[in-house]
Amino acid sequence: MTVATAEPYVDLSSAAAIRLALKWQIIGLLLMICHALLVKQSLLLTPLMLIGLGWLYANAPLAGITTYLQILFYQNWIIGFFANGMLREPTFVVLQGTNFAVLLIMACIGWTRLALPAWQTLRPILLVIMVAVMVACIYALFGAMKESPLAASTYFRNTTAMVFAVIVGLDVGRIYSYRTVGIIFLVSAALSIALGYVEVSVPDAYYEATNATSFMALKNSNDPKLDVFWSAQDVTDHNTGSLFNVSGSDSTISQLRFQGTLMHPISYAYIIAVTALVAWSVGLGGWLLVVLPLLALSGVKGANLLVVGSMLLWLVWVVSRSRALLLITGLIMMVSYVTFGLLFGMENGDYHVIGLLGGINGFLSNPLGHGIGVGGNLSAEATRSFKWQAYQASGAADFALESAVGVMLYQLGVASIAIFSVFGVLLFKAPWRVDRQSLLFIALAAVMVNGVFQEEAYAPAAAGCFTLLCAVIIANGNRPVSRLGEAWQSPLVTAHV
């Protein structure tokens, strides 16, 4: 893809990118701490940090996106330290929405710059995004009236975060290279990876030190079935299950599915997976020696399969250099994966398959959709009637659960094609060069398929990261590169608009 302007984008040296990432990581973490303290005192103070970060991103996109990554990776971890005495609603709920609020502000700012004539070749992507957001807004209003405003807002956030991330990626990619953004991503994730190893080594001590008990109690206080968090040992027990959590498994091996700085095992495993793929894509394969063992220890099937499948398909691509062969191989792997998952899941009463079939049944009964926020793990309906034994006996849930695809079909019906089109336009606009960056687009397609069996696959920590990074590559296009060397020191680079 050739962008309409000949203006080069900036590629920082590794040392300069690392210095910038470390500087803004510290600032980002401090800002999130201040934000948590202010919001805990009064919700009226919520806009202060959001306005500040909007100003930062408008004037220094690279510093802004680096700060956003700190909030994405460490937001819940920081909230945990201040969870004592915090009200779940509205304080805790508002704080958990911080990363989405920041993303939305950055997307609005980015949209104004991408709308300029110089970037008209990116307009087909923006058109698809505009339609997707409009559809999501309509169905969120419908869901709020039918179910509850809280459930609708939660699922609107989950549905549109990966869409807004595309705008931010395109905006940053106008100015900075994917390699620069990739290195900043790795530096930002390094602390999270290190804390993951601490957690798996001494979980009880880690949960005690990070106040994880209070966080988990607050997070699950609206679900009487999960009112079980009274000590660090309770958190460990809650996260411990059979090896890779395989349904119907007779394995006696137990495994701690550690929750990391995202305070959620599956979302954290996806961050580990994205980190591994980004490291390979920027030529830092040595990171895999640190990241892949932690990914295997996570016990999350989807994140592990994402890395293995993406790497295999990337090898097919670089060896054959044939798009047709890549597409055929990818389709064979996708059909095999989905078919095996469905057959195995139906035989063993797997929750993900039961939830997917619930979504499909709901779609067939109402192809127009039930509304965003109706159905899904986080809906009020799920809290009221999570009858797994009855669902296993009947072979399907009453509504969509445990499946991003199932939930989307249930909530948006045929209109879900607007959201899936965002994946499609990114894959269509991909440069498909025979290089390591092409791995990110293969992973984007793979995480889209992962959504069949995992609701978290389309979350900001999974698909959201891939849509952002792939958008950076697309915006880079085939423009010339301006390389800034080791002497570059400025923490702020004014946006080129």
Kindly tell me if the per-residue pLDDT of 490 is higher than 60: no
Kindly tell me if the per-residue pLDDT of 492 is higher than 70: no
Q: Does any domain span residue 494?
A: no
Across residues 30-44, what is the average pLDDT?
96
Q: What pLDDT band is residue 94 in, cutting at 50, 70 and 90?
A: very high
Q: How many CB atoms lie within 10 A of CB 84?
A: 13
Number of H helices, E strands in the chain: 22, 4
**What does the pLDDT read at residue 488?**
47
Element at 180 (helix H, strand E): helix 178-201
Q: What pLDDT band is residue 349 in, cutting at 50, 70 and 90?
A: confident
Kindly tell me if the per-residue pLDDT of 491 is higher than 60: no
**What does the pLDDT read at residue 229?**
81
Q: Does any domain span residue 121?
A: yes
Q: Does any domain span residue 370?
A: yes
Kindly tell me if the per-residue pLDDT of 369 is higher than 70: yes
Q: Does any domain span residue 16?
A: yes
Kindly tell me if the per-residue pLDDT of 238 is higher than 60: yes
Across residues 307-334, what is the average pLDDT?
96
Kindly tell me if the per-residue pLDDT of 299 is higher than 80: yes
DSSP 285: G
Q: What pLDDT band is residue 255 in, cutting at 50, 70 and 90?
A: confident
Least confident span in 100-104, 161-165, 218-222, 269-273 = 218-222
Residues 296, 306, 238: CA angle, nearest 5 degrees: 50
Q: What pLDDT band is residue 243 in, cutting at 50, 70 and 90?
A: confident
Q: What is the pTM of this model?
A: 0.93
Q: Does any domain span residue 495?
A: no
pLDDT one-digit tens code per residue, 399-424? 888 899 999 999 999 999 999 999 99
Q: What pLDDT band is residue 250 in, cutting at 50, 70 and 90?
A: low
3-class DSSP assignment, residue 460: helix
**What does the pLDDT read at residue 230?**
83
3-class DSSP assignment, residue 155: helix
Q: Does any domain span residue 1?
A: no
3-class DSSP assignment, residue 255: strand
CA–CA distance, 291 with 197 (Å, rounded to integer): 10
pLDDT one-digit tens code per residue, 355-364? 899 999 999 9
**What does the pLDDT read at residue 95?**
96
Mean pLDDT of the chain: 91
3-class DSSP assignment, residue 484: strand
Pick from 176, 172, 174, 144: which is nearest to 157 by CA?
Answer: 144
**What does the pLDDT read at residue 3?**
45
**What does the pLDDT read at residue 231?**
87
Could you list the residue range(s) of the whole structural domain that residue 162 is in? 9-250+257-484
Q: Does any domain span residue 450?
A: yes
Pick from 206, 175, 204, 254: which is nearest to 77 by CA?
Answer: 206
Across residues 22-33, what is the average pLDDT?
97
Residues 456, 272, 283: CA angle, nearest 5 degrees: 130
pLDDT one-digit tens code per residue, 374-408? 988 777 776 666 676 777 777 778 888 889 999 99
- Four-residue CA torsion sign, 385, 388, 392, 397: positive
Q: Does any domain span residue 464?
A: yes
DSSP 102-136: HHHHHHHHHHHHHTSGGGGGGHHHHHHHHHHHHHH
CA–CA distance, 341 with 454 (Å, rounded to integer): 11
* 361: phi then psi, degrees, rounded to nearest 5: -60, -40
Share of the chain above pLDDT 70, in %: 92
pLDDT one-digit tens code per residue, 191-214? 999 999 999 999 999 999 999 999
Total number of domains constituting the chain: 1
Kindly tell me if the per-residue pLDDT of 232 is higher than 50: yes
Kindly tell me if the per-residue pLDDT of 25 is higher than 60: yes
CA–CA distance, 104 with 54 (Å, rounded to integer): 10
Q: Does 90 sit behind a cis peptide bond, omega within 30 degrees of 0 on the bond before it? A: yes
Q: What pLDDT band is residue 244 in, cutting at 50, 70 and 90?
A: confident
pLDDT one-digit tens code per residue, 412-459? 999 999 999 999 999 999 999 999 999 999 999 999 999 999 999 999
* 269: phi then psi, degrees, rounded to nearest 5: -60, -35
Partners of residue 482 on adjacent β-strands: 10
**What does the pLDDT read at residue 489?**
47
- Asked whether 165 and 124 are in contact (CB, 8 A), the reply is no
Kindly tell me if the per-residue pLDDT of 1 is higher than 50: no
Kindly tell me if the per-residue pLDDT of 164 is higher than 70: yes
Share of the chain above pLDDT 90, in %: 76
CA–CA distance, 53 with 27 (Å, rounded to integer): 11
Q: To the nearest 10°, the Cα dihedral for 91, 97, 102, 103?
A: -170
**What does the pLDDT read at residue 497?**
40
Q: How many CB atoms lie within 10 A of CB 347?
A: 11
* 142: phi then psi, degrees, rounded to nearest 5: -60, -45
CA–CA distance, 163 with 39 (Å, rounded to integer): 27
3-class DSSP assignment, residue 341: helix
- Asked whether 9 and 473 are in contact (CB, 8 A), the reply is no
- Asked whether 426 and 441 are in contact (CB, 8 A), the reply is yes
Pick from 316, 372, 379, 434: which is nearest to 159 by CA?
Answer: 372
